[in-house]
């Protein structure tokens, strides 16, 4: 049943807003040099398990010279909303901020994280994923999380696919069956300094994303005070 739901939602169920289409175009250009100085699509604020205030994060992003980013707090968009208000009040237009979220979900019997982007945060179908805690029951399945993000006009991406208890091959294949749009291809698994995507894992995920026709994304998964590092 869940599989049928996800298959039906492989394409977003609402007309894509202009910023979602623009983000897809960015994802289509992402490579190993994109993050962390040009784009960053995985970072956290004090609204989940990060140390940066949203205003501090967006100010740092501007100072770095990022062209675009998404704040992906766990199960909330409060950090994104605060950063968006700061951007609007500042009048800065040199940087693009997309809505983002990180959802804990079940895939093939294990816990994975689904990143959502460029969705409408106020869409009713996403309210269950914005309660500050992991969803329960059928809402916790990857199939439902992907479907909800699509219904809200956004994109769904499998975060750090080589960090889980099952292989990236198994998980990406299953996620593709459920309509996932992309994978976090460029990720630093051992938290190197300076930040750089892990070469072996990157090559593996790139091959899988090509096999399943998925988009590639990048992100530092920042939880600390520096957007150029994970911790």
Rounded (to 5) percent helix, strand, coil in the chain: 35, 20, 45
Question: Which tokens go with 217?
Answer: 């994304």
Share of the chain above pLDDT 90, in %: 92
- 3 state DSSP class of 105: strand
Number of helical H runs and strand E runs in the chain: 7, 8
CA dihedral 124, 111, 180, 35 (to 10 degrees): 100
Whether pTM exceeds 0.95: no
Q: Which CATH class, in words, describes the domain spanning 2-218?
A: alpha beta
14-32 confidence digits (pLDDT tens): 557 779 999 999 999 999 9
First to last CA, the chain: 39
What's the pLDDT score for residue 15?
57
Question: Average pLDDT of 67-78?
Answer: 98
- 3 state DSSP class of 39: strand
Neighbour count for residue 191 (Cβ, 10 Å)? 12
> Does residue 9 carry a pLDDT above 90?
no
Which alpha helices (DSSP H) does 29-151 contain, by range?
A: 54-64, 78-90, 142-151
Which of these, 113, 107, 129, lies nearest to 176 by C-alpha position?
107
Q: What is the phi/psi pair of residue 68, to 5°? A: -165, 155
Residue with token string 């039906």: 8
* CA atoms of 61 and 64, how far apart (whole Å): 5
What's the pLDDT score for residue 18?
75
175-207 confidence digits (pLDDT tens): 999 999 999 999 999 999 999 999 999 999 999
> Does residue 7 carry a pLDDT above 90?
no
* CA atoms of 5 and 143, how far apart (whole Å): 7
* CA atoms of 167 and 161, how far apart (whole Å): 8
* CA atoms of 90 and 115, how far apart (whole Å): 27
Question: Average pLDDT of 35-45?
Answer: 98
Q: How confident is the model at residue 10 (pLDDT cuts 50, 70, 90)?
A: very low
Average pLDDT, the chain: 93
Return the domain boundaries, the chain.
2-218
- Give residue 177's Cα distance to chain centre: 19
Tell me, letter by letter, the H, E, C secondary structure of 190-207.
CCCCCCCCCHHHHHHHHH
């Amino acid at each position: 049943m869940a599989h049928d739901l996800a298959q039906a939602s492989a394409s977003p169920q609402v007309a894509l807003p202009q910023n979602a289409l623009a983000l897809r175009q960015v994802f289509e250009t992402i490579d190993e040099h994109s993050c962390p100085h040009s784009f960053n699509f995985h970072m956290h604020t004090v609204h989940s398990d990060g140390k940066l205030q949203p205003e501090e994060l967006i100010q740092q992003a501007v100072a770095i010279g990022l062209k675009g980013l998404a704040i992906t707090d766990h199960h909330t968009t409060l950090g994104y909303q605060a950063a968006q208000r700061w951007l609007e009040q500042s009048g800065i237009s040199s940087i693009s901020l997309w809505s983002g979220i990180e959802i804990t979900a079940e895939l093939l019997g294990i816990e994975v994280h689904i990143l959502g982007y460029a969705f409408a945060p106020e869409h009713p179908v996403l309210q269950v994923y914005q309660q500050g805690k992991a969803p329960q029951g059928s809402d916790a399945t990857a199939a439902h999380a992907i479907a909800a993000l699509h219904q809200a006009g956004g994109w769904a991406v499998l975060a750090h696919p080589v960090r889980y208890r099952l292989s990236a091959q198994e998980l990406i294949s299953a996620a593709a069956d459920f309509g996932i749009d992309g994978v976090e291809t460029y990720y630093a698994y051992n938290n190197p300094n300076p930040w750089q995507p892990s070469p072996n894992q990157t090559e593996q995920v790139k091959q899988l994303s090509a096999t399943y026709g998925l988009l590639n994304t990048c992100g530092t998964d920042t939880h600390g005070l520096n957007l150029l590092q994970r911790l």
